[in-house]
């Protein structure tokens, strides 16, 4: 590490990460090969699960923006309507294939401090679930912001339980770290095109 600092003054891991994330580069794909290059087995697992995707694989134009939810990579991709902003966020995914709805939809509503109402199916699997949890409550699993899709009961939202990110842990939604949903909520518009695959 001393050699790197001597060769490039002021360049450290935090600055490098800040440039990647702040610059809108797709850091997960860039870092995936570097982070696992020393361990062949880990590299094989990483390569098989994460794939860099692009909006034009699913839509003919950006419109108001594009959001892709990649179940295999456990990532949400976002592009703004003007094409100037792109982001990749790690996410939680549905627990089973039966709970995973795939296809095209759009963002139809944005909500700050969304209330959570477990579906009838969720309550049949876990009768201890409450009928509803108020928005902003500490036990509300939706976090501070939610983007509602045209499919009933499917959302992209935050979560206070960060252990869920990168895992099969939801009943159909895509959960992001709260700082990521805060950023995405500020950028994504109602009418943003969504593809889940």
Among 59, 56, 82, 67, residue whose Cα is nearest residue 150: 67
pLDDT at 50: 75
Name the catalytic one among 3, 160, 173, 180: 173
For 91-126, the pLDDT digits (tens) are 999 999 999 999 999 999 999 999 999 988 889 999
For 15-61, the pLDDT digits (tens) are 444 444 454 444 444 333 333 333 334 433 444 467 889 999 999 99
Average pLDDT score, the chain:
82
Note whether 148 and 109 are within 8 A (CB). Answer: yes
User: Is 91 known to be catalytic?
Assistant: no
User: Is 3 known to be catalytic?
Assistant: no
pLDDT at 52: 87
Reported pTM: 0.74
To 5 degrees, how large is the angle CA 138–CA 142–CA 147? 145
Name the catalytic one among 3, 54, 157, 160: 157
Phi, psi of 95 (to 5 degrees): -65, -35
pLDDT at 46: 45
- Would you say residue 143 has pLDDT above 80? yes
C-alpha span between 1 and 131 (Å, rounded): 54
- Proportion of the chain above pLDDT 90, given as a percent: 70
């Amino acid at each position: 590490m001393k050699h790197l600092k001597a060769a490039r003054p002021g360049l450290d891991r935090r600055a490098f990460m800040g440039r990647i994330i702040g610059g809108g580069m797709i850091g997960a794909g860039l870092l995936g090969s570097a982070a696992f290059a020393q361990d062949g087995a880990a590299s094989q697992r990483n390569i098989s699960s994460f794939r860099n995707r692009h909006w034009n694989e699913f839509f003919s134009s950006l419109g108001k923006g594009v959001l892709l939810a990649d179940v295999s990579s456990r990532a949400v991709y976002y592009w703004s309507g003007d094409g100037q902003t792109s982001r990749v966020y790690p996410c939680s995914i549905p627990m089973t294939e039966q709970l995973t709805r795939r296809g095209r939809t759009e963002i139809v509503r944005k909500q700050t401090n969304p209330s959570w109402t477990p579906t009838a199916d969720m309550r049949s699997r876990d009768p201890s679930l409450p009928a509803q949890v108020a928005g902003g409550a500490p036990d509300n699993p939706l976090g501070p912001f939610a983007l509602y899709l045209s499919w009933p009961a499917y959302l992209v939202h935050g979560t206070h339980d960060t252990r869920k990110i990168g895992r099969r842990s939801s009943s159909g939604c895509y959960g992001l770290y709260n700082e990521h949903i805060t950023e995405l909520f500020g950028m994504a518009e109602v009418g943003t095109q969504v593809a889940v695959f």
